[in-house]
Structure 1
Amino acid sequence: MGEYNVVVYTSDSCIHCTKVLELLREWDISFTEKNISQNADFYKEMKEMGVYGAPVTFIDGQQVLGFQKRKLKKYLGIDEVSSYIRQRALSNQN
């Protein structure tokens, strides 16, 4: 899997934000989190891109609104086979 520029705009107490972050960690994807509840500049950035709610994930410029596992996988080049192989390899290490 290649390296991607991944930025996730999140907000406090947002279950869908938490789900996106958990998936990215599970898939071992590096990302930058920008919490709009804690930093007004991040909210302003997000609004300037025409987005008014979190979560929103940008993957090399591709926008994924909300929690959309299939779209995240698509833009990150993750397919079911590679996920299965990666999980098997991890379980064999334990």
Structure 2
Amino acid sequence: MTEIIIYTQHECPPCTFIKNYLSEHNISYIEKNINQNSQYKHEMMDYDAFATPFILLDNEPMYQIDMDKINNTLSLNS
């Protein structure tokens, strides 16, 4: 099973989009909201990521939403 971790923050439309997209396809993910836990922000910065959503797809960093990669990795049809 593919592990998905999404670093998010409040009032982030792209964060909401990707969470809704995965939920609509019944794909589970771990959300780490950087506004709720400063450790998550530090984890994200360890990857040189400075914007949300920052996604780890099987520990591979995704610095912007790449729908083709997400769909291919998860075997989804958009």
Same fold (TM over 0.5): yes
Following superposition of structure 1 onto structure 2, how do residues 34-45 of structure 1 map, counting pairs within 5 Å? Answer: 34-45=32-43
Following superposition of structure 1 onto structure 2, how do residues 57-68 of structure 1 map, counting pairs within 5 Å? Answer: 57-68=55-66
Q: Number of residues paired by the alignment? A: 78
Shift of 1:63: 2.1
Shift of 1:44: 0.3
Following superposition of structure 1 onto structure 2, how do residues 1-94 of structure 1 map, counting pairs within 5 Å? Answer: 3-78=1-76, 80=77
When the two structures are superposed, what TM-score results if normalisation uses the length of structure 2? 0.88
TM-aligned CA distance change 1:75 to 1:64, over 3 Å: farther
Structure 1: give runs of 5+ residues left out of the alignment. 84-94
Identity %, equivalent residues: 28
CA distance in 1, matches of 2:5, 2:63: 12
Does structure 2 conserve the Cα–Cα contact (< 8 Å) formed by 1:57 and 1:64? yes
Structure 2: give runs of 5+ residues left out of the alignment. none
When the two structures are superposed, what TM-score results if normalisation uses the length of structure 1? 0.74
More helix by share: 1
Instruction: With a CA cutoff of 8 Å and minimum separation of 6, indicate the structure with the bigger relative contact order.
Output: 2
Moved over 6 A (4+): none
Shift of 1:66: 2.9
Instruction: Tell me the secondary structure at the aligned position of residue 45 of structure 1.
Output: helix
Task: Tell me which amino acid in the other structure corresponds to 2:39.
Answer: D
Quote the RMSD (CA, aligned, Å): 1.4
Instruction: Tell me the secondary structure at the aligned position of residue 27 of structure 2.
Output: coil
Rg bigger for which structure?
1
